[in-house]
């Protein structure tokens, strides 16, 4: 499997592997944020998951894979750079992958940072589907998304596919606005440039849907009730305006022994410039030797 990656900083510095969410390219780790980490003495690596960006696109029918394979890709990136262990920083579903690695491969994890994510094996997908379908959440389920998020994605599901590239970009900007939170400002021009960059560098933009197929191929792969096994020092970050997984950060922090929870005012499910300094400062302190 050919995976695109790039590194920043000195090879002798403490290594940080950035793991982005499902169906998302590595460049969604903002350049400014990555630069802050590297300038402060970290060796930072970001990469494109399989079927995203410049990494290999897969004929899923011919060569199916599972979410576990996507998890193992992160370890393969570390192997390629000759890194035995690293500080793992995961966003959204990337945070799930990082938790999974910390449970099953503790020797590879120096510290764990989970941003805008859900507890490993907690049934996030089922909670989201029940919310979108207007079904009641069973007792003990994860907190559902905000109503604004649910209303928007119901519209997306009911809408016709984008007619052209410009309409696709407009829809991605509208989605980013819903996910943004209240951290000011929302820079529509910068978001348009980012979405154009994402489309331009994708080997096959449509192949990202294979991530959904991978999860469906083995939906119970993530180990449940296992976060007590995490040995790495853990930082959990959530925005006060998280629309997709509100309150999930506190559940992760409660399940991992000694974990610290950081709430960032105004942050939603995105990593916009107004939060870069606070987020980078927290991660640098957390990953200090």
* pLDDT tens digit sequence for 154-192: 998 898 889 999 999 999 999 999 999 988 789 999 999
Q: Kindly report, residue by residue over 255-281, the tens digit of the pLDDT.
A: 999 999 999 999 999 999 999 999 999
**What element of type H or E holds 234?**
strand 233-239
Residue 62 pLDDT more than 80? yes
Q: How many CA atoms within 13 Å lie on the side-chain side of 78?
A: 23
CA-based angle 262:125:227, to the nearest 5? 50
Predicted local confidence at residue 114, as pLDDT: 98
Q: What percent of the chain has pLDDT over 90?
A: 91
Token pair for residue 231?
A: 């040995």
Predicted local confidence at residue 242, as pLDDT: 97
Residue 58 pLDDT more than 90? yes
CB 235 within 8 A of CB 111: yes
Write down all domains in the chain, each with its CATH number in brackets. 5-122+203-286 (3.40.50.1820)
Candidates 261, 260, 264, 289; CA nearest to 277 is 264
Predicted local confidence at residue 157, as pLDDT: 87
Q: Kindly report, residue by residue over 214-253, the tens digit of the pLDDT.
A: 999 988 889 999 999 999 999 999 999 999 999 999 999 9
Predicted local confidence at residue 156, as pLDDT: 86
- Provide DSSP, 80-124: HTT-S-EEEEEETHHHHHHHHHHHH-GGGEEEEEEES---TTS-H
Predicted local confidence at residue 96, as pLDDT: 97
Q: DSSP state, 136?
A: P
Task: Tell me which residue has tokens 């370890």.
Answer: 75
Binned at pLDDT 50, 70 and 90, residue 56 comes out as: very high
CB 5 within 8 A of CB 45: yes
Q: Could you tell me whether strands 109-115 and 260-264 are parallel, antiparallel, or unpaired per DSSP bridges? A: unpaired
Task: Tell me which residue has tokens 């590595």.
Answer: 26
Predicted local confidence at residue 246, as pLDDT: 97
Residue 77 pLDDT more than 90? yes
Binned at pLDDT 50, 70 and 90, residue 89 comes out as: very high
Predicted local confidence at residue 183, as pLDDT: 81
Binned at pLDDT 50, 70 and 90, residue 113 comes out as: very high
Q: Cα(175)–Cα(128) distance, rounded to whole angstroms?
A: 16
Q: Could you give phi then psi for residue 133, rounded to 5 degrees?
A: -90, 0
How many other β-carbons are positioned within 10 Å of the β-carbon of residue 125? Answer: 15
For the chain, give the mean pLDDT.
Answer: 96
Q: Cα(18)–Cα(113) distance, rounded to whole angstroms?
A: 10
pTM of the entire predicted model: 0.97
Predicted local confidence at residue 185, as pLDDT: 84
The arithmetic mean of pLDDT across residues 93-112, rounded, is: 98
């Amino acid at each position: 499997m050919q995976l695109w990656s790039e590194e920043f900083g000195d090879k002798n510095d403490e290594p940080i592997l950035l793991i982005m969410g499902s169906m998302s390219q590595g460049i969604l780790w903002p350049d400014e944020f990555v630069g802050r980490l590297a300038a402060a003495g970290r060796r930072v690596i970001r990469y494109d998951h399989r079927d995203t960006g410049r990494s290999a696109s897969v004929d899923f029918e011919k060569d199916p894979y599972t979410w576990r394979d996507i998890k193992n890709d992160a370890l393969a990136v570390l192997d390629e750079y000759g890194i035995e262990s690293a500080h793992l920083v995961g966003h959204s579903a990337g945070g799930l992958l990082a938790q999974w690695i910390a449970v099953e491969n503790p020797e590879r994890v120096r510290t764990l940072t989970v941003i805008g994510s859900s507890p490993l094996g907690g049934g996030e997908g089922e909670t989201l589907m029940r919310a979108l379908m207007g079904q009641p959440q069973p007792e003990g389920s994860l907190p559902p998304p905000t109503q604004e998020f649910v209303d928007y994605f119901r519209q997306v599901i009911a809408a016709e596919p984008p007619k052209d590239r410009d309409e696709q970009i407009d829809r991605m900007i509208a989605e980013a606005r819903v996910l943004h939170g209240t951290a000011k400002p929302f820079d529509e021009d910068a978001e348009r440039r980012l979405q154009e960059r994402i489309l331009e560098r994708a080997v096959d933009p449509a192949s990202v849907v294979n991530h959904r197929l991978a999860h469906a191929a083995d939906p119970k792969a993530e180990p449940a009730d296992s976060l007590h096994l995490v040995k790495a020092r853990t930082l959990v970050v959530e925005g006060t305006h998280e629309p997709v997984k509100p309150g999930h950060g506190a559940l992760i922090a409660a399940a991992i022994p000694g974990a610290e929870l950081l709430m960032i005012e105004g942050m939603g499910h995105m990593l916009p410039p107004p939060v870069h300094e606070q987020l980078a400062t927290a991660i640098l302190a957390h990953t200090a030797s």
